[in-house]
Structure 1
Amino acid sequence: MSGSLPPLRLAINGYGRIGRCFLRALHERGLAERFQVVAINEPANSESIAYLTRFDSTHGRFPAPVELQDGTLVIDGRSIQLTHADTPEGVDWRSLKVDLLVECSGQYSNRAGLRRFLEAGCPRVLLSHPANSAADVDATVVYGLNHGRLNGDERIVSNASCTTNAVVPVLELLDRELGLEQVLLTTLHSVMNDQPLVDGYHHSDLRRTRSAMQSMIPVSTGLARGVERLLPGLKGKVLAKAIRVPTLNVSAIDLTVTLAQDADVAGLNALLQIASNGPWKGVLTTSAAPHASIDFNHDPHSAIVDLSQTRAGGARLFNLFIWFDNEWGFVNRMVDVAQRWHAGWSQS
């Protein structure tokens, strides 16, 4: 984004794991001056908001001074208004002169719900989750794949999901270079806040009533639908399942593909390495070290392909393993999308 562009006035709706990481990413990337968060709407009390901004069990202390002054969050000397509404209409977004709302509550996934933010005074909304359907948003963006299509006319944009951002770079590359006949994805995802620490009446999905920290728990996933939405040439070729695992952060995707052309492990790994230093640089990377998941905590890439785990079951059947920080990698792509989008509407 050009330094000549005016500062962007941002608001965050929903200040959980993704909302807090988004704010932190702006500071860690030196963007807090150009991307000024002026308001946070979160039903929790102000003291908890300030405390969980300052201290984070997964990503450490906030990289700037954090204070609470008369109910206002002050970070590095800049004030952020706190509101505690539970509806889009409960905040006077218009008076805040917000340029972009970052919707991180996860509660609004269709156009009718999202339009409530527009009608309440937010000119644009960036979702931290997939929409119910492609028609519910003006664009679903995976940075590195289709961010260049943003022209500034959009009003509602989805950043897809963390798993979609992790696997689409690999699938796009394989399909473009070798062709994909079939894809099977198994996500091993860290625990999320829709799971209880101990067994309890917590969810309509009975598996999610079980303790998150004692079991690996299969859950439903819309990953196949999300992949096909971004890569329509793979429609009908993708199967996906997900298992929650008892770790706080960093997830993985076990990817099995049938290729349309013959290949081998060395050639496949070389292709991934070339892409990580070329068209997907900064989004996709590779490593062949003997990793554990904690090695990728706070890693800003969408996907890290573990080259040591690539396996062949013949000339066209291959298994790959992808690590990703499901919080930090994802919010960094949200920041990238916000920058690209802002550049588009500022020049239109």
Structure 2
Amino acid sequence: MVNIGINGFGRIGRMVLRCALEDGSVTVVAVNDPFIGPDYMAYLFKFDSSHGAFNGEVSFQEDCLVICGKKIYLSHEKNPKKIPWGAHGADYVVEATGVFRSVDKCQGHITGGAKKVVITAPSEDAPMFVCGVNEKDYKSSMNIVSNASCTTNALAPIAKVIHDNFQIVEGLMTTIHSVTATQKTVDSPSGKVQWIFMKQNSSIYCFIFFATPTSLYLIPPPPPLSASS
């Protein structure tokens, strides 16, 4: 049995917990999120607008979620170094905040007692792996790795099959992404000008982190790919 902790209880973190409960070979022993209290954690986990209601009992106490009778301990630390992964027996940490995406930033989880970290987003410097593409390149000495982006996971396996059998001479991929939490419900200031308009009426061109990692090393020899969104 593998014991894991989850940092960040947004959509990805909650889906990781659901998958772990369904799988049975992975046990989530702790969840950390500095911005959500246990009552909202329980409610958001139980009811999901996209995936439907969780088929099981969900309740909460001051320091834990209780799911199907099993306690999952909670913490609310902003600094990964202060999260007590070791105290709760979490050997692996799923870094799902979208904030800590470099080896240096994720090193705090190791300091807190975890043995390895998997980042659920593209990383600046951590090795990136996509199942079906390059997972065989993983080495046990790699303590912090990235699962790349949702777009990379969607297209890299297809690109690999085509490239292995026919060779991609040149490629351009365009993705239409669903609405994200960073978009505004009404027009208002934002750090980037393309994000200032209400999401209901906007199609926003943005940079996506697909073409670079896929072209560089996920698919050897690297095909010349570019992308837009």
Q: Do these two structures clear the TM 0.5 threshold for a shared fold by scoring above it?
A: yes
Partner of residue 225, structure 2: 238
Q: Is the 8 A contact 1:180 1:234 kept in 2?
A: no
Using the TM superposition, give the Cα deviation of residue 219 of structure 1 relative to its aligned residue in structure 2, in angstroms.
1.3
Of 7, 12, 17, the match for 2:11? 17
Partner of residue 162, structure 1: 150
Tell me which amino acid in the other structure corresponds to 1:42: D
Q: Is the 8 A contact 2:129 2:148 kept in 1?
A: yes
Using the TM superposition, give the Cα deviation of residue 232 of structure 1 relative to its aligned residue in structure 2, in angstroms.
4.3
Using the TM superposition, give the Cα deviation of residue 151 of structure 1 relative to its aligned residue in structure 2, in angstroms.
4.2
Residues 20-71 of structure 1: per-residue CA shift (max 9 Å, x gap) = 11111223xx323x21101100121111111100000110001221111334
TM-score (norm 2): 0.94
Of 137, 141, 160, the match for 1:172? 160
Question: How many aligned residue pairs are there?
Answer: 227
Of 53, 61, 65, the match for 1:69? 61
Partner of residue 198, structure 2: 211
What CA distance in whole angstroms lies between the structure 1 residues aligned with 2:211 and 2:14?
Answer: 28
Residues 264-317 of structure 1: per-residue CA shift (max 9 Å, x gap) = xxxxxxxxxxxxxxxxxxxxxxxxxxxxxxxxxxxxxxxxxxxxxxxxxxxxxx
Of 156, 164, 170, the match for 1:182? 170
TM-score (norm 1): 0.63
Q: Is the 8 A contact 2:38 2:62 kept in 1?
A: no
Matches within 5 A, 1:117-156: 117-132=109-124, 136-137=125-126, 139-156=127-144
Select the structure of larger CA radius of gyration.
Answer: 1
What CA distance in whole angstroms lies between the structure 2 residues aligned with 1:176 and 1:149?
Answer: 17
Q: Is the 8 A contact 2:179 2:199 kept in 1?
A: yes
Identity %: 32
Give ranges in structure 1 of 5+ residues lacking alignment. 1-6, 243-348
SS of residue paired to 2:221: helix
Partner of residue 36, structure 1: 27
What CA distance in whole angstroms lies between the structure 1 residues aligned with 2:158 and 2:90?
Answer: 36
Partner of residue 72, structure 2: 80
SS of residue paired to 1:82: strand
Using the TM superposition, give the Cα deviation of residue 215 of structure 1 relative to its aligned residue in structure 2, in angstroms.
1.6
Residues 173-227 of structure 1: per-residue CA shift (max 9 Å, x gap) = 11111111110010100011111122122x3111112111222111121211121
Give ranges in structure 2 of 5+ residues lacking alignment. none
Backbone CA RMSD of aligned residues: 1.4
Structure with the larger strand share? 1
Q: Is the 8 A contact 2:149 2:209 kept in 1?
A: no
Q: Point out which structure has higher relative CO (alpha carbons under 8 A, 6+ apart).
A: 1
Q: Is the 8 A contact 2:84 2:112 kept in 1?
A: yes
Q: Is the 8 A contact 1:10 1:35 kept in 2?
A: yes
